[in-house]
Structure 1
Amino acid sequence: MQLDEFYSTDGERFFFSREQASRFAKHIAGDFNPIHDPDSKRFCVPGDLVFALVLARYGLCRHMAFRFTSMVDDQARLALVETAPGQLSVQDQNGKECLGVTCEGEKIGNAEQIAELTRRYVEFSGQTFPHILVPLMQARQVMINPQRPMVIYHSMIIDLDTPEFRDPELKMTETRLDVEGKRGHARLCFELHDGDRLIGRGEKNMILSGLRPYDQAGIDHLIGEHTRHKAAYVG
């Protein structure tokens, strides 16, 4: 996966235009969340785009944990800083962190392996709504606000058993939604396979805000808006 068309540089820093971020979300991740639209008043860069650029610039380790600490907009000029051995921080021009990364184990520098693993994860991650979140919300009889849906990318983990792989594939193993008041924590666990070999595992965590009682009409509205949004882009 080539990332050059999805970011720009300003000296040692990198940044994302609204058009670049939106194109990545829709074309690469298949993510049609309106918050990534260029004209969105609440615009933010997809977390998976920041994640992908970290892997492309730093490399891949056997164990990596990513924690998103703030949203990124098109005004942020970012730098990847190694704050301590095995600790990375993506910070804007004011020193505010948007992503913290913990790295352990053997480092994998093969660009083709990194690009393929990144592509497979981003494709998996971008399909969260409606395929995964709607059944979880239905099971817990809660839902996000259909007029102002808020799902925040919280963290993700990748654990590799081996640096030797060619064609990684992600397979979902568990989905879970824990609810506390109007806040939910969605956890998506997956395994990494290369052919018939299990090569690792990982998880993605999201925070759902403004939860309310489940309403099928509201869910149908959300899914309908998502479908129309996707159809308008695909043409």
Structure 2
Amino acid sequence: MFLNEFYSQEDSTFRFTQHQASHFAKTVANDYNKIHDVDNKRFCVPGDLLFAVSLAKFGLSETMKINFTGMVRNDVDLQFSPLSENKTTIINANEQVLMELELAGNSSHDDEIISKIIIEYVQFSGKNFPDVMVPLMRSENLMFNPARALIMYKCMEINMTRVDVKNIALRFDEALIDVNGKRATVTFKFDFYEGEEKVGTGQKEMLLSGLIPYEESVMNGVIADYQAAKVKYLSAAS
């Protein structure tokens, strides 16, 4: 599977280098969040990469629920806890739980479909900012503080009507924002299709903290920096 270049496996443990995780974020997910830059002191592995590794290991289940409970650093030995009652976790050497996974229903281990879902999902996820999130924040006259951006990947869920699909595509449905003081939960909903038949639904949730009044000029600067980082990376890679 194409995913093998983005992590290293040894017996029951696996790990991510900064280069592997950053390369995945930028080349697969189209995600240029600075926290995934190799020279960022707060570097963390993208949650979408953890989801992708989970799919590769356990296959596609009719229901998959993931909760992100901690930030995953680079060059740390990780492993999945033993599957019990269709639940498992990603833990580090100190047994700190960094991600929870719950599975239900039938499953498929078709590498081609799993690879397709990974690519479809993470590319959709990478478009959440600025395409979807910025209009939502503007509608509430609120935004994250660029100086102390606190945006956390909370959870995601997939519900398939069947997993015996031969092809699959993701289509964006809608996005919602729920504001509670200086915090907000943003929910991105999407559907899976095989041709014109809807075969599944899903959603992901992000937590925004330390919200401040929306300023168009400031947000335009954030978007410009984000786009500049993308151009710089692609230019260096070409």
The TM-score bracket by the shorter chain reads over 0.9
- Mapping for residues 148-187 of structure 1, pairs under 5 Å: 148-187=148-187
* Aligned partner letter, 1:159: N
Contact kept? 2:108, 2:164, Cα under 8 Å? no
For residues 46-57 of structure 1, the aligned pairs below 5 Å read 46-57=46-57
Matched AA of 2:39:
D
CA distance in 2, matches of 1:57, 1:45: 18
Give how far 1:136 is off. 0.5
> Distance in 1 between the 2:3 and 2:89 partners?
20
Asked if residue 129 in structure 1 is aligned to residue 129 in structure 2, the reply is yes
Mapped partners of 1:100, 1:226: distance in 2:
30
1:83 CA displacement = 4.5
**What does residue range 1-235 of structure 1 map to in structure 2 within 5 Å?**
2-235=2-235
Letter of the 1:54 partner, please give it. S
Distance 2:30 2:66 in 1: 21
Question: Partners of 1:206 and 1:29 in 2: how far apart?
Answer: 16
SS in 2 for 1:88: strand
User: CA–CA distance in 2 between the matches of 1:116 and 1:170?
Assistant: 10
Q: Assess if the C-alpha contact under 8 Å between 1:36 and 1:44 holds in 2.
A: yes
In structure 2, the gaps of 5 or more residues are none
Structure 1 unaligned spans of 5+? none
TM-score normalised by the chain length of structure 2: 0.96
Equivalent-residue separation in structure 2 for 1:164 and 1:58 (angstroms): 15
User: Is the contact made by 2:56 and 2:114 (CA closer than 8 Å) also made in structure 1?
Assistant: yes
| Pairwise CA distance, 1:75 | 3.6
Separation in 1, partners of 2:87, 2:71 = 20
In 2, the alpha carbon distance for the partners of 1:164 and 1:106 equals 9
For 1:84, what is the secondary structure of its paired residue?
coil
For residues 54 and 210 of structure 1, the distance between their equivalents in structure 2, rounded to whole angstroms, comes to 31
Runs (4 or more) in structure 1 with deviation over 3 Å come to none
Asked if the contact 1:10–1:77 (Cα under 8 Å) also holds between the matched residues in 2, the reply is no
One-letter code aligned to 1:85 = E
2-structure distance, mates of 1:92, 1:209: 26
How many matched pairs?
Answer: 235
Residue identity matched to 1:149: A
Letter in 2 for 1:37: D
The answer as to whether partners of 1:67 and 1:101 remain within 8 angstroms in 2 is: yes
Task: Measure the CA separation in 2 of the matches of 1:166 and 1:219.
Answer: 41
- TM-fit CA distance, 1:59: 1.2
- The code of the aligned residue for 2:88 comes to L
Greater fraction helix? 2
Calculate the aligned-residue CA RMSD, in Å.
1.1
Q: Using the alignment, how far apart are the partners of 1:34 and 1:183 within structure 2?
A: 21
Q: Residues 18 and 75 of structure 2 are in contact (CA less than 8 Å); yes or no, is this contact kept in structure 1?
A: no
The 8 Å contact of residues 60 and 163 in structure 2, kept in 1 or not, is answered as: no
Whole-Å separation in 2 of the counterparts to 1:108 and 1:9: 22
Moved more, 100-109 or 78-87: 78-87
Q: CA deviation at 1:98?
A: 0.8
Identical-pair percentage: 37
Partners of 2:103 and 2:12 in 1: how far apart?
A: 22
Letter aligned with residue 191 of structure 1: D
My pick for the range that moved more, 78-87 or 94-103, is 78-87
